[in-house]
Amino acid sequence: MKFPSNFLWGGALAANQCEGAWDVDGRGLSVQDVQAFKPNVDQKNLKAHTSVTLEGLKQAALETDTTYYPKRHGIDFYHHYEEDLDLFQEMGFKILRVSIAWTRLYPTGHETEANANGVEFYHRLFSAMKARGIEPMVTLHHYEMPLALAFEGNGWVSRNVIDMFLRFCETCFREYGQYVKYWMGFNEIDSCGRHPFTSAGIIPELSTEGMDQACYQALHHQFVASALATKMLHEMVPGAMMGCMLTKLTCYPYTCEPMDALATQKRNLENLSYTDVLVFGEYPKMILRDLEKRNIKIAMEPGDLEVIKQYTCDYVSFSYYMSMTESVSPDAPRTPGNTVLGVKNPYLKSSEWGWQTDPVGLRYSLIEMYDRYKKPIFVVENGLGARDKVEEDGSIHDEYRIEYFRRHFEEMAKAIDDGVEMLGYTSWGPIDIISASGNQMSKRYGFIYVDQDDLGNGTLQRSRKDSFYWYKKVIETNGEEL
């Protein structure tokens, strides 16, 4: 196993899934604060998780209880971050990916001055990381925007949001540029079509021209915003790098029947088209043709395409959890993945949530991405969501998680040996946090256990799982001992 000597090992979090403190120090309501945990909903039912109604959102916004809105309390990282960083330091983390909550700095998005308490919190957080020798990596938009902007203008469908977002970016670069080298614009920018509300604040009833039209319009604004944020970062923070972030949904043909291969190709090209825009600075011609055929018309302003072309990203990052297959047969058995339905692969095992574990798919994805983009790669999310059992003596034997990571690291090392240039790796949720899709606590990814159940009961006490000691060793030996 050979990883580069400066390989950045670490973990990744998102503000809305860990911070909590939703109504503290002047923070505004975000789209995540109205995402409910639904105990009786089948966790594999994707529709139940992504459906939103205007009335439901308005009701939820008035609700003050946090029991069924777990992202409001998270794991209270806002008040526990020192203790959590101590544990990350103990594991030897070189880097920690976090996101900055837009609503902590600009509660409704409209303010012209940033909220001083919010600004101060991230100063404390980044200084605390630096003091522990942990490099901060920052996502500017991780499934989170002011709720006010969703109600007013249907989120990113409205062009005005670009300027408000850039005001937020400017504050982030000015305040935190001194600590942060690696930045990222939009988490999983491809996800707008899969969960439009959390990705882009889009509400079906406000999307009078249809959801597809709304999503592509919002995406266009996100592409322009990404390019302008990259320009701003380069001007304000010399040496800083802006990455793009894709949900890598690697798909294989279910059979070698040519129609299955064609359907798979379509799916993969669609998945890659988002990073194509951000890396090559152009909409792929076939995607534009597809939109034309579907009668989707993106409203663009003069200069948009030039801006997208000129300010492309510096490195490529992606999340990778699972793979899937595609088939044209209506009878092919389907299984959920990362907010997506694919056809079951008979060669792979699934997690309890149906996500198909595929370490070789990581090697495949790394090769594919590096070959296509020829830019250094950062795997910024990867991991296994599982239920953990706490033994009577408090220990947690998560051998299944160790096995998942071990096999993925082996494949990552092989990809590096194949010639892929990698900057680093951050596992998803190195400490248990609230799940993005299910709004639940029991789907755990961490090396560190947090004592809290789905309804927010628990002491919030942190404890080390077996995987904690294992990952510590991996980092210590730079991946030599897996």
Sites for ligand BG6 among residues 141-170 (CB under 6 A)? 143
**403 in catalytic set:** no
Q: Is 14 in the site for ligand BG6 (CB under 6 A)?
A: yes
Minimal distance, residue 262 CB to ligand BG6, in Å = 27
Distant-in-sequence contacts of 252-261, Cβ < 8 A, 24+ apart: 252/323, 252/324, 252/325, 252/326, 252/345, 253/325, 253/326, 253/327, 254/325, 254/326, 254/327, 254/329, 254/332, 254/343, 254/345, 255/327, 257/328, 259/328, 260/326, 260/327, 260/328, 260/329
* Burial of 137 per CB tally in 10 Å (0-12, 13-18, 19+): buried
* Burial of 101 per CB tally in 10 Å (0-12, 13-18, 19+): buried
Nearer to ligand BG6, 17 or 264 (CB): 17
Chain centroid to Cα 219, Å, comes to: 16
378 forms beta bridges with: 317, 424
Query: Which residue in 135, 144, 326, 381 is the catalytic one?
Result: 381
Stretch that binds ligand BG6, among 128-136, 203-211, 357-365, 432-440 (CB under 6 A): 432-440
Q: Is 338 in the site for ligand BG6 (CB under 6 A)?
A: yes
Residue in 271, 437, 452, 467 binding ligand BG6, rule: CB under 6 A: 437
Minimal distance, residue 143 CB to ligand BG6, in Å = 6
Stretch that binds ligand BG6, among 172-180, 268-276, 365-373, 434-442 (CB under 6 A): 434-442
Q: Is 443 in the site for ligand BG6 (CB under 6 A)?
A: yes
Q: Is 381 in the site for ligand BG6 (CB under 6 A)?
A: yes
Minimal distance, residue 31 CB to ligand BG6, in Å = 13
Sites for ligand BG6 among residues 117-146 (CB under 6 A)? 143
Question: 369: left (phi > 0), else alpha (psi -120 to 50), else beta?
Answer: alpha
**135 in catalytic set:** no
**Residue 163 CB neighbours (<10 A):** 12
Nearer to ligand BG6, 213 or 323 (CB): 323
Residue in 43, 115, 187, 317 binding ligand BG6, rule: CB under 6 A: 187
Nearer to ligand BG6, 375 or 444 (CB): 444
The residues carrying an active-site annotation are 188, 381
Q: Which residues are near ligand BG6 by CB under 6 A?
A: 14, 17, 143, 187-188, 247, 319, 338, 381, 385, 428, 435-438, 443
